[in-house]
Chains A and B, each alone.
Chain A
């Protein structure tokens, strides 16, 4: 058990280190900006005094490493700075949107993970059958379509032609849970299409990989039923790759959410980030990148830890 704990701690430390390096990259990126933020904000006609005053107000006249430490100190206290575009507090701007994005991503994940496991195992069980082959073609198709295609096709049928779901999400702080769920259906289905297909393919591949091992052959020769061989013998060894696949897919959600939010004008973090990129609103982009990257690192870290903790060789040392 000690060895596992040590490895988990090691990974955890590595994750923190990565997050630290990423924060430096994100921060340093701003230093490379051509031109000066203060000048860009005030426009060309600004007097040098005004520019200097704004630089002082934004803290741009201090050395970079001090600003970096200040920024971290702020982040630790929940202060992410102020938006350049509308001078609003970023933390305030982000909280509501972050909860919306998490709601969307979690809904998509909650439905697609169990489905992917079931269909993936079935495809492995009946491999090379008609079912398996059609699954292969359909999932490749789903992986190949850009998210905005899926999204617009769904909008075309379910909101324009049938009118079942709204084509634009209209969510504010007072929207009820049921209403939210109704609004989130189309965006969530779009997201599910991609990760469900990807996860199924990988689950199938990792189980089939295992089925070639000698101990599975042995179980077959003992006369064990096929499903039991997979559930009892193959799955325990497949948990590590599967956990990895799920984490990667969820991490993919982090990215996929950006495009889907823009299509449905869903008030989430991705939409905010895209808007801020077009406005070159650096502090907001910084904060969003940090949240996205942090979530991504956290998910990969979880996958690592799960695969350590479910590894039979580590759990039962000789």
Chain B
């Protein structure tokens, strides 16, 4: 995202001498400890996802030792049921699991956001049609719908991404449409329309900057939702398939160890929880900030 789009996020920056980046930085310094924790978590997960191969001597799918080896010098977190290094798979999981969830969320935003914007601008038959379709899709529980669709189309990563993104786009459609409708009725938008601005311009330059704040918060929440959903599907054995290292399926693969009182199998689950918590903290702070003084009565 460019710095320009970020403008409406920081209503408090008023002095023009400071650049926007400095302004954001100052805001972050003033943020509560929970939000700082969130930022730290997101940055470190990003770091691990990018540099996973450098951080570990073993390969993602490489069988390096005996099965279910205990924690030790050579294999810090032991090995899994096939003799692959746990820590390595955990690090690569950051890349696979988070990556897939991230792509899915972006795809969902492209689908849901665009249709939502169109529906708000052309409030005619398209709006009616799209809204009714979304109503029906939302009447079916997402996980159940996803299970059904995955039965029909089979389980592969592209199918998984498309299915979840389509299902999730329904929520984003509603949010985008609702917030855009507030903008569409304003005078300046009417003026832009009468000037004969094109559709693309109307969306990008007139509406988007004004709905960026709620959409950013929604992005965080949707990401958490998609992330947990994919983890749940993988845990059920219907999401990301082995031998790809994925946190949800790692829990499933190693679950036997729990009955021996070993906590290794829940480490991937903790990794999922920490990232979700970090994003939630950040969104919470962001919502609090963008809602301004409303809470301060």
Contacts and interface: CB of A to CB of B under 8 A. Distances in A.
Between B141, B251, B270, B273, the greatest number of chain A beta carbons within 10 A of the residue's beta carbon is seen for: B141
A254 B141 contact: yes
Contacts of A288: 144
Given A18-B136, A146-B273, A285-B151, A140 B281 contact: yes
The size bracket of the interface on A is 35 or more
B166 interface: no
Interface string A266-280: 000000011011101
A235 interface: no
Contact of A153 (B135, B151, B235, B266): B266
Interface residues of B, number: 48
Given A26-B148, A29-B152, A255 B143 contact: yes
A297 interface: yes
B142 A255 contact: yes
A156 B261 contact: yes
A255 B258 contact: no
A251 interface: yes
B295 interface: yes
A30 interface: yes
A181 B273 CA distance: 29
Given A140-B280, A251-B141, A156 B258 contact: yes
A258 B216 CA distance: 30
Nearest to B267: A149
Nearest to A155: B258
Nearest to B33: A137
A32 interface: yes
Interface in A232-277: 251, 254-255, 258-259, 262-263, 273-274, 276-277
A42 interface: no
A71 interface: no
A144 interface: yes
Chain A residues touching B, majority SS: helix
A313 interface: no
Interface in B224-260: 224, 228, 231-232, 235-238, 248, 251, 255, 258-260
Given A26-B148, A29-B149, A262 B273 contact: no
B143 A144 contact: no
A105 to B, nearest CB: 13
A170 B164 CA distance: 33
Contact of B235 (A208, A251, A259): A259
Interface string A125-159: 00000000000110011011111110011011000
Nearest to A297: B139
A258 B228 CA distance: 14
A161 interface: yes
B236 A292 contact: no
B147 A273 contact: yes
B140 A25 contact: yes
A275 to B, nearest CB: 10
B198 interface: no
B275 to A, nearest CB: 8
Given A25-B136, A144-B224, A293-B140, A161 B261 contact: yes
Contacts of B228: 146
Given A29-B152, A149-B273, A300-B139, A285 B251 contact: no
Given A144-B273, A146-B231, A296-B144, 8 more contacts: A137-B34, A140-B277, A145-B269, A147-B232, A167-B259, A255-B141, A258-B144, A258-B236
Interface of A: 18-19, 21-22, 25-26, 29-30, 32-34, 136-137, 140-141, 143-149, 152-153, 155-156, 160-161, 167, 208, 211-212, 251, 254-255, 258-259, 262-263, 273-274, 276-278, 280, 282, 285, 288-289, 292-293, 296-297, 300
